[in-house]
């Protein structure tokens, strides 16, 4: 096996409840870099003592998905990298199948599983099909051919979370790079649960803010400001009306969620950075 040619990069944030199952599913001959967006030395020491193939980088702050993955990718010395979410389980034959597939398509930029939906429940049209070229893939499991990113770069760090992988895929395709999915590459993705359950609501607030911010930013970046404005106007109107409605009906949690959507959109429209961070300690 060419396992020395592959490094796995996992960006985490309070993911102790998920990461161990993920690591248990990975062959111990493959090097792993975890970018942990906290200052949790206990977690670092515990994982590195149990998984000798793993190195943890503690950032001391919440860098987000794009910047965290980029940090990990800068440490990769191998020919290939696998971006993996901490709530993903790797199927047994996936790595062997990957090395077999790249012999057929050595010029790939990204290779990903054909099943692109959470929980492996809804299946895309590419099930049971091999090496289908696509426009983009989801970010929970992506094999990178590192040389293909040399003049393009990795993730746009203006994104904190959401649409950074869509943006990367679009940039790759604009430069004539190849993105494939294959049914022999199999992961089980729990979806939406890469962090501990105790911080669910704070993370829900963060998700709503950043989804709206990223949606406007992505459309502005690729199609222009006025296109982005038209694309998101209904979302702006809906979130403002619903935040007022839930304020008047004393539904505090719903009010906070829809206000986050409204606030994220407004900040993006005004050209402000994706500054919002969940109110969770990074120690």
Res. 122: pLDDT tops 50: no
Please give the sequence-ordered ranges of beta strands (E in DSSP) within 49-201, or none if there are none.
54-58, 80-84, 88-90, 108-113, 132-133, 141-145, 178-182, 187-189
3.20.20.140, 3.10.20.310, 3.90.550.10, 3.40.50.720: CATH of 3-189:
3.90.550.10
pLDDT of res. 126 = 66
DSSP, collapsed to helix, strand or coil, labels residue 160 as coil
Average pLDDT over residues 72-81: 97
Task: List pLDDT tens digits, range 133-192.
Answer: 999 999 999 999 999 999 999 999 999 999 999 999 999 999 999 999 998 998 988 765
Question: CA 10 to CA 214: how far, in whole Å?
Answer: 21
Quickly state the pLDDT bin for 127 (edges 50, 70, 90).
Answer: low
pLDDT of res. 196 = 60
Whole-prediction pTM: 0.91
Burial of 27 (0-12, 13-18, 19+ CB in 10 A): middle
Res. 124: pLDDT tops 70: no
Task: List pLDDT tens digits, range 211-220.
Answer: 999 999 999 9
């Amino acid at each position: 096996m060419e396992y020395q040619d592959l490094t796995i990069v996992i960006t985490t944030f309070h993911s102790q409840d998920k990461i161990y199952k993920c690591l248990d599913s990975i062959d111990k001959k493959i090097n792993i870099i975890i970018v942990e967006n906290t200052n949790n030395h206990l977690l670092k020491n515990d994982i590195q003592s149990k998984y000798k193939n793993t190195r943890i980088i503690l950032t001391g702050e919440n860098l987000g998905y794009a910047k965290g993955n980029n940090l990990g990718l800068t440490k990769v010395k191998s020919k290939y990298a696998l971006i993996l979410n901490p709530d993903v389980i790797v199927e047994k034959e996936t790595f062997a199948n990957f090395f077999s597939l790249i012999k057929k398509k050595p010029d790939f930029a990204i290779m990903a599983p054909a099943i692109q939906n959470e929980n492996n429940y809804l299946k895309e049209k590419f099930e049971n099909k091999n090496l289908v070229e696509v426009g983009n893939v989801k970010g929970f499991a992506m094999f990178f051919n590192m040389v293909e990113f040399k003049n393009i770069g990795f993730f746009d760090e203006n994104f904190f979370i959401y649409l950074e992988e869509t943006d990367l895929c679009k940039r790759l395709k604009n430069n004539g790079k190849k993105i494939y999915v294959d049914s022999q590459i199999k992961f089980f993705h729990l979806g939406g649960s890469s962090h501990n359950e105790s911080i669910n609501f704070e993370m829900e607030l963060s998700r709503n803010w950043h989804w709206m911010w990223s949606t406007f930013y992505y459309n502005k970046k690729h199609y222009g400001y006025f296109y982005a404005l038209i694309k998101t106007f209904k979302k702006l109107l809906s979130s403002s009306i619903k935040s007022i409605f839930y304020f008047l009906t004393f539904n505090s949690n719903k009010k906070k969620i829809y206000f986050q959507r409204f606030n994220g959109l407004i900040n993006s429209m005004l050209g402000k950075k994706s500054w919002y961070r969940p109110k969770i300690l990074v120690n």
